[in-house]
Structure 1
């Protein structure tokens, strides 16, 4: 892609389309999957700093990954700077990361009631202290925030200024307020206003479901854009967007045949099965059915058949042999 790779936020990346942290989704196999599809950078799930501090086994498992996912950014959440720093220290003993990021955007009560996530935007001094303590690890320090009403762009920019003064290298701005949670529409205009104040230091987030959505954020001044829930609707959203932006992308990632779609889900499910286990492989495969099987006769029937499977080996058997199933009647019904 013209002008890339490039260093953004202190990290060299191949392109500005990055996989967002997604709870229960962006574990190691899923990160490698989207790096293979072309995402320029990936994130861990949102990891509890306290969980790491108190040696939580499940929390540490969120860090697991492997070759093929780099660059990968660790996203932590916590209510105070000391916990965040301790969590980062423990995480870095387990695995290396391209950057350290603090989530100051999650609006869910189970996170905010403890002073974490978007609640930190009410405590800019502590938020800036997190940035300052994380700088001691010698890695780029990032944050993710939401827009703050009223006068969203102005208040959000003020908060970002506090973070930059504390040592932040890069900040994602999600275009919804904490009160909106995930409802309504993300304000790209508010994000763009902040991005124009800090050229090259702001990433955009919110409502990216089509290639044009990513392009819009970039054209409005964002240095990078996060792919989040959109990749759960269209598994090929990132490569389609890269192609729109002028990158060379394998055709099977942009206009995949039924066989290519099947192969990709088999590879993803098999990777999850071998590393994260059978139950998660089945869960993710079921979730990805609608994001993959599109555009060919019998696709909806195949999706329904996959949703009925009860184990990954059963799902794998279906995917390897679905061509032997007669979907002609179903296809005729779909065309009516």
Structure 2
């Protein structure tokens, strides 16, 4: 991928979430690019079965970035080559952001912020494989000089894009993400910085872009409301922008459930539950639907419950519209 997508709203990598059914749903709501789940390089080298599912790419997905984490250069290179044999990707993203104790204990994730020489060498060597190299990372401190120095090291080593989260390692996911310092980095390195952290509304997306970021990663906020994305696109004047009408939501969730029926039931129900809270949010009777779907014995039953509600609600809306038209006359 030599050029960045014109659509700057992108789906972030999320462990145990951004497999192909989820990515496909987000491409339907309008993201310009998506990431795979964060994959452990050693798990890929050891050929764990779950890893192959994580890397599976559906034929009609849009631009897809592979995300790997590793504590050493050799494992990263071997895993990247194996991943590209399994599937195709537009870029390789090296995770230098994850604050998980397990990931950091392996020498990967956010621990690389304290191992800058290893981080730079990973990028330099990975670049030789011929893939565009991206990095997802955090601010090393709330000192702008430290942030600029860290970003400069990554970009000078060959990173084409740096997705910068405005929390420090010690913060984990607590407190707030410092959007201003991410914006300062974006202005210091034009066209190189993607904003990430605390994106919950379409205005959050616009704020990152106005501060100079070339793209914005949506993550936890999109689990609560995927329709933040088409709303942001509408405000940006892009063609995929639209309102989250009942019909649009029905189309999106019906396709998502149909895709979930193609994967193992336990995985399908896990993914469904991550999105249950946003299904037909605010619509009459939807809370009862969500409760029933959560208790379903499997994805097939959950899909049947969804279709029954959607069809009945559609009939109700049609009758209401007809009655309103009749009252006008």
| Contact 1:80/1:126, CA 8 A, preserved across alignment | yes
Q: Give the Cα separation in 2 of the matches to 1:18 and 1:236.
A: 13
Q: Give the Cα separation in 2 of the matches to 1:161 and 1:301.
A: 52
Q: Give the Cα separation in 1 of the matches to 2:52 and 2:287.
A: 38
Deviation at 1:26, TM superposition (A): 0.4
3-state secondary structure, aligned to 2:89: coil
Deviation at 1:157, TM superposition (A): 1.6
Deviation at 1:286, TM superposition (A): 2.5
Deviation at 1:277, TM superposition (A): 2.0
Deviation at 1:250, TM superposition (A): 6.3
- Choose the corresponding residue for 1:121, options 113, 120, 125: 113
For 2:288, the equivalent position in structure 1 comes to 301
* 2:267 is the counterpart of 1:280: yes
Closer, same or farther: CA 182–286 of 1 in aligned 2, 3 Å: same
For 1:334, the equivalent position in structure 2 comes to none
* 2:244 is the counterpart of 1:255: yes
* 2:153 is the counterpart of 1:162: yes
* 2:81 is the counterpart of 1:89: yes
Deviation at 1:281, TM superposition (A): 1.9
For 1:333, the equivalent position in structure 2 comes to none
* 2:118 is the counterpart of 1:130: no
Deviations 1:119-172 (A, max 9, x none): 000000100011011111212111011011251x22122112111221111101
For 2:319, the equivalent position in structure 1 comes to none
| Contact 1:235/1:292, CA 8 A, preserved across alignment | no
Q: Give the Cα separation in 1 of the matches to 2:244 and 2:255.
A: 18
* 2:257 is the counterpart of 1:269: yes
Judge which range, 155-164 or 234-243, deviates more.
Answer: 155-164
Judge which range, 297-306 or 166-175, deviates more.
Answer: 297-306
Closer, same or farther: CA 255–62 of 1 in aligned 2, 3 Å: closer
- Equivalenced residues, count: 313
For 1:319, the equivalent position in structure 2 comes to 306
3-state secondary structure, aligned to 2:55: coil
Q: Give the Cα separation in 2 of the matches to 1:211 and 1:283.
A: 27
| Contact 1:231/1:291, CA 8 A, preserved across alignment | no
Closer, same or farther: CA 139–11 of 1 in aligned 2, 3 Å: farther
| Contact 1:270/1:281, CA 8 A, preserved across alignment | no
Moved over 4 A (4+): none
| Contact 1:37/1:239, CA 8 A, preserved across alignment | yes
The 5-angstrom pairing of residues 159-238 of structure 1 reads 159-238=150-229
Runs of 5+ unmatched residues, structure 1? 1-6, 329-336
Runs of 5+ unmatched residues, structure 2? 317-329
Deviations 1:224-255 (A, max 9, x none): 0001011111021111110011123364xx23
Root mean square deviation of aligned Cα: 1.7
Deviation at 1:216, TM superposition (A): 0.3
